[in-house]
Amino acid sequence: MPLSDLVLFIDGEAIVIDKPAGLPVDTSRRGGASIVSRLDELRCGFRSSPTPMHRLDQDTSGCLLLARNAKARAQLQRAFEQRQVGKYYLAVVGSPIEEETGTVAVPLAKRSSADAGWRMVGDPAGQEAMTNWRRVAVRDGRTLVEFQPLTGRTHQIRAHAREAFGSGIVGDRVYGIPGGAMMLHASRLVVPRDKRELIDVTAPLPEQFGEWRGAA
């Protein structure tokens, strides 16, 4: 499917697409398809290709913002740096959660081992990391949770889900419950702009979420 068919929002400054799970944003060292390698599909009448303004993990689907020119890129970059951008994710956590809302404030640091490779772990000496969360629905011992990261650390939601709830995200072979697709979706993106209307875009849950789609 052309990336242009995945556009959720577009104007002269920005594009938001619904990135499919399995397609990385950046091209890996091994090569292969990626958002970056296919940016010409998102020119949408412009001479130059847009630029991704943030990253989603390869197995994470949902809202991805791209800037369409240099001026917009600088403005949107400032919004990210000043933590003005609202990012919301929906994920299925592999345990029932009794509380309705909460905040995970666990600093994260990168750790490597010969057996498991690298991952982000809770570490008091790590980088500040904060994530708000809200319980959406509980079913069959699992919970649909909305996460709102307030910082932008690598694998933050995946690591914080494990820190907060023990079991982590369903389908996450590194931090959660391996097996099947990773049930993590960038569901909503809210971006303030200086002279244009607020970008507020929602990406529907993909089919892999099954019955959870009716609960979101």
The residues annotated with a catalytic role in the active site are: 57
Selection from 161, 144, 44, 57 nearest residue 100 by Cα? 144
* Confidence at residue 172, expressed as pLDDT on a 0 to 100 scale: 97
> Mean per-residue pLDDT for 91-105?
97
Selection from 12, 25, 97, 17 nearest residue 64 by Cα? 17
Class of domain 3-214: alpha beta
* Confidence at residue 5, expressed as pLDDT on a 0 to 100 scale: 97
* Confidence at residue 117, expressed as pLDDT on a 0 to 100 scale: 79
Contact 188, 93 (CB under 8 A): no
What does the pLDDT look like over 112-161, one tens digit per residue?
Answer: 876 767 899 999 999 999 999 999 999 999 999 999 999 999 999 999 99
Selection from 51, 67, 61 nearest residue 10 by Cα? 67
* Confidence at residue 155, expressed as pLDDT on a 0 to 100 scale: 96
